[in-house]
A and B are shown apart, each in its own frame.
Chain A
């Protein structure tokens, strides 16, 4: 069985190539938040503890527009609903763990952490390495969190000096392109992605960025349909 330390180190290392995407994203989120919030402490905590970049960017935009608290929280909820899908996929791999671990992962789960770990977790599920495999996810998530937090704090203090013409705000989107390319492997995943994208665009006008969730759910359903046709149960 792989030791906890080995699993953690491998997860940590596996996530390092994603750091160049995570760091500037943290900086941008930190900079935007610091420009909206009056308290420097709150803006640092917002980036580091809440640890939800996409929701944070939208929340800060809404705060700037003077939206009420409840609306901002609803937007945060809808944007983060995708984590429920990730959580559902991860649950099986974490079911042997204590509540402490589950709460910790409830704080650390991210898109890229999930993307980097899910295949490995599944591969180890029925092996002798299964009991320690959550340490891999922990390692990958911690690397994300550290890089993100450093970026966020740096962004909060010097982010105002990044010229907008650099368009660094597109980096978070680009950082998903690689994960997409890696995970679109067959017809079902291609259909899921294509349908999700089209529906998300079609419903982009919905409030609170709900189009994201609508797109993801419809895409998932479409992909399932294709998968079940090809592989009758």
Chain B
């Protein structure tokens, strides 16, 4: 029972966040400043997801420069910039993590 409630609850909440704006804003014309703001949504949201994953470990800020996840993301970013290719980006980032694991760091 509990699990069904969790499933339906998560579905309802998720649908609410996805559907509301598509439904409500569908009737109005968006002003130019709004259009400009939309262009910034992706960079802002994605960095707000990525950076804490990289800099926070077990609730605390990682301050050592030998942070495997930080180096992984930097290398992946460089590869992404040069290649614009998802597979290369993922492989580069994961290779860094695996190298650190093999070396026993982090």
Taking a contact as CB atoms under 8 Å apart, the answer to whether A177 and B18 are in contact is no
A89 to B37, CA, bound (A): 9
Q: Which of B13, B24, B76 contacts A77 (CB 8 A)?
A: B13
- Residues of chain B within 8 A (CB-CB) of A90 are 21-22
Q: Which of A21, A38, A82, A105 contacts B45 (CB 8 A)?
A: A82
Taking a contact as CB atoms under 8 Å apart, the answer to whether A106 and B89 are in contact is no
Taking a contact as CB atoms under 8 Å apart, the answer to whether B46 and A224 are in contact is no
CB of B103 within 8 Å of the partner chain: no
Kindly count the residue-residue contacts between A and B in the assembled complex, taking CB atoms under 8 Å apart. 286
Q: Which of B6, B43, B69, B77 contacts A63 (CB 8 A)?
A: B6
Q: Which of B24, B39, B44 contacts A216 (CB 8 A)?
A: B44
Taking a contact as CB atoms under 8 Å apart, the answer to whether A174 and B36 are in contact is no
Smallest CB gap from B89: residue in A: A178
Q: Which of B38, B44, B87, B90 contacts A88 (CB 8 A)?
A: B38
Taking a contact as CB atoms under 8 Å apart, the answer to whether B76 and A174 are in contact is yes
How many chain B residues touch A (CB < 8 A): the figure is 70
Shortest Cβ distance from residue B76 to the other chain A in the assembled complex, whole angstroms = 5
- Indicate the member of A114, A219, A228 with the most B CB atoms within 10 Å: A219
Q: Which of A54, A80, A201, A223 contacts B43 (CB 8 A)?
A: A223
Shortest Cβ distance from residue B3 to the other chain A in the assembled complex, whole angstroms = 5
Taking a contact as CB atoms under 8 Å apart, the answer to whether B9 and A69 are in contact is yes
- Residues of chain B within 8 A (CB-CB) of A97 are 26
Given A17-B86, A106-B18, A115 and B6 contact (CB-CB distance below 8 Å): no
Contacting residues of chain B (12-58) with chain A, CB-CB under 8 angstroms: 13-27, 29-30, 32-34, 36-56
A residues whose Cβ falls under 8 Å from a Cβ of B: 17-21, 37-39, 42, 45-46, 49-52, 54-56, 59, 63, 69, 72-73, 76-77, 80-92, 94-95, 97, 99, 102-103, 105-107, 109, 111, 114-115, 118, 165-167, 170-171, 173-184, 188-190, 192-201, 204-205, 211-213, 215-217, 219-220, 223-224, 227-228, 231, 233
Given contacts A46-B7, A80-B18, A102-B22, 14 further A-B contacts (CB under 8 A): A50-B14, A77-B13, A83-B17, A91-B25, A97-B26, A103-B19, A118-B38, A170-B93, A175-B86, A180-B80, A193-B46, A201-B52, A204-B52, A205-B59
Nearest first, the 9 closest Cβ-Cβ pairs linking A and B are: A106-B19, A87-B21, A197-B51, A215-B48, A91-B25, A219-B44, A89-B38, A200-B48, A197-B47
29 contacts between A and B (CB under 8 A): A17-B86, A21-B90, A38-B3, A42-B3, A59-B6, A63-B6, A76-B13, A80-B13, A80-B14, A81-B17, A83-B17, A85-B41, A86-B18, A86-B41, A87-B18, A91-B22, A91-B30, A106-B15, A106-B18, A165-B101, A167-B97, A174-B89, A177-B73, A188-B40, A201-B56, A204-B56, A212-B45, A215-B48, A233-B33
